């Protein structure tokens, strides 16, 4: 069924409103970052800040390692609240709730791993790092990162925001004991992926399933740059209309952890590149009792989901932008123009 002119007009108005709000995001991030930095003492500020061009900006990770930046545990409650307020400028309400739930899972791991001196589990061992000088007409960036979480934002010329690479993980994927029993922070990622692969018929699955066993990790890990992965799996034109709707819904679900303006702007770019170019690949079993992996790709982006570690109870999920990770391409263009002026 073709959309009516009235429906098309409504969509255009909503999209325009979304883009208008998206331009407010850099200003909010700049204000929140400066409020955070303004609350720090000189030593804390030195620990929390790096030049935008420093190699540390792309030194991202999601495992429990030593990190650079200022951890929540070394902040006062007021400073920590300002750090979370900065995170709130980049995430949706549901994204922030998931982020805070992931941080609290450190307490579960601390109890479950009691006596294991090799692991340090701490829900306030999450770091805020600012790269460059937050200003209305400047390019700068910021990161919120710790175990199983890495959000990397880049603001170019005070106008455009890039939010990849982005990572969320949970261990356990499902809490199976204690007062949080049954909690699945990233359960939607898993359930929607399983529902989609099970919507495929036998012929479609032969194309979509690229391995009988799930991979032991997301393929791109914490790489600084990524390219489309191969094999790509099944392409959108090979799906029924209903299946294509499910695939698009799964993409939107992953984007929904970021604030709506940024998610809408990114989905518009994905749409412009061609929803008919989307591909879906699966590895592993077809239900939650087995280890699973999937990837969704388009010309501009890659989503990976993996639940194979911990005997299929340990999730890693990432969103990558082939040209926009760390705002790389647009920043390179910006630096080239600035150099040409000199």
pLDDT at site 312: 97
Nearest CA-CA partner of 276 in 243, 235, 241: 235
Q: Do the domain assignments include residue 245?
A: yes
260-274 pLDDT tens trace = 999 999 999 999 999
pLDDT at site 306: 98
Q: Do the domain assignments include residue 9?
A: no
- Which stretches of the chain score pLDDT less than 50? 1-5, 7-11, 13-20
Contact 149, 167 (CB under 8 A): yes
pLDDT at site 120: 81
Q: Do the domain assignments include residue 1?
A: no
Determine the Cα–Cα distance for residues 164 and 152; give it in Å rounded to an integer: 6
Determine the Cα–Cα distance for residues 323 and 293; give it in Å rounded to an integer: 24
Per the structure, the count of domains in the chain is: 1
Q: Do the domain assignments include residue 63?
A: yes
Domain span at residue 314? 14-341
228-272 pLDDT tens trace = 999 999 999 999 999 999 999 999 999 999 999 999 999 999 999
Contact 294, 281 (CB under 8 A): yes
Q: Do the domain assignments include residue 271?
A: yes
Q: Do the domain assignments include residue 4?
A: no
| CA 22 centroid distance within chain | 18
- State the pairing for strand pair 279-284/315-321: unpaired
Q: Do the domain assignments include residue 144?
A: yes
Determine the Cα–Cα distance for residues 35 and 29; give it in Å rounded to an integer: 10
pLDDT at site 221: 98
pTM of the model: 0.91
Q: Do the domain assignments include residue 205?
A: yes
- State the pairing for strand pair 279-284/209-211: parallel
Determine the Cα–Cα distance for residues 122 and 103; give it in Å rounded to an integer: 8
- b/e per residue, 71-105, with b = 16+ CB within 10 A? bbebbeeebbebbbebbbbbbbeebbebbbbbbeb
């Amino acid at each position: 069924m073709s959309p009516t002119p009235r429906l098309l007009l409504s969509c255009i108005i909503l999209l325009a409103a979304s883009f208008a709000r998206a331009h407010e995001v850099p200003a909010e991030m700049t204000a929140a970052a400066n409020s955070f930095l303004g609350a720090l003492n000189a030593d804390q500020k030195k620990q929390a800040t790096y030049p935008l061009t420093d190699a540390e900006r792309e030194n991202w990770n999601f495992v429990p390692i030593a990190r650079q930046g200022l951890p929540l545990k070394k902040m006062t409650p007021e400073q920590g609240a300002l750090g979370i307020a900065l995170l709130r400028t980049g995430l949706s309400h549901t994204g922030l709730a998931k982020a805070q739930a992931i941080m609290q899972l450190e307490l579960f791991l601390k109890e479950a791993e009691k006596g294991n001196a090799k692991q340090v589990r701490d829900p306030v061992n999450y770091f805020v790092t600012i790269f460059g000088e937050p200003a209305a007409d400047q390019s700068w960036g910021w990161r919120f990162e710790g175990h199983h979480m890495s959000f990397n934002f880049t603001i170019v010329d005070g106008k455009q925001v890039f939010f990849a690479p982005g990572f969320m993980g949970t261990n356990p994927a499902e809490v199976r004991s204690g007062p949080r029993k049954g909690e699945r922070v990233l359960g939607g990622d898993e359930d929607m992926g399983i529902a989609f692969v099970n919507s495929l018929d036998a012929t479609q699955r032969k194309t979509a399933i690229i391995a009988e066993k799930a991979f032991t990790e997301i393929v791109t890990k914490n790489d600084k740059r990524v390219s489309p992965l191969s094999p790509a799996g099944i392409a959108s034109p090979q799906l029924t209309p209903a299946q294509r709707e499910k695939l698009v819904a799964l993409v939107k679900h992953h984007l929904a952890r970021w604030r709506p303006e940024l998610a809408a702007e990114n989905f518009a770019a994905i749409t412009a590149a061609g929803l008919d170019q989307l591909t879906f690949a699966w590895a592993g079993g077809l239900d939650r009792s087995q280890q699973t992996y999937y990837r969704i790709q388009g010309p501009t982006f890659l989503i990976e989901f993996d639940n194979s570690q911990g005997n299929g109870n340990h999730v890693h999920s990432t969103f990558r932008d082939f040209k926009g990770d760390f705002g790389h391409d647009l920043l390179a263009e910006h630096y080239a123009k600035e150099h040409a002026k000199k």
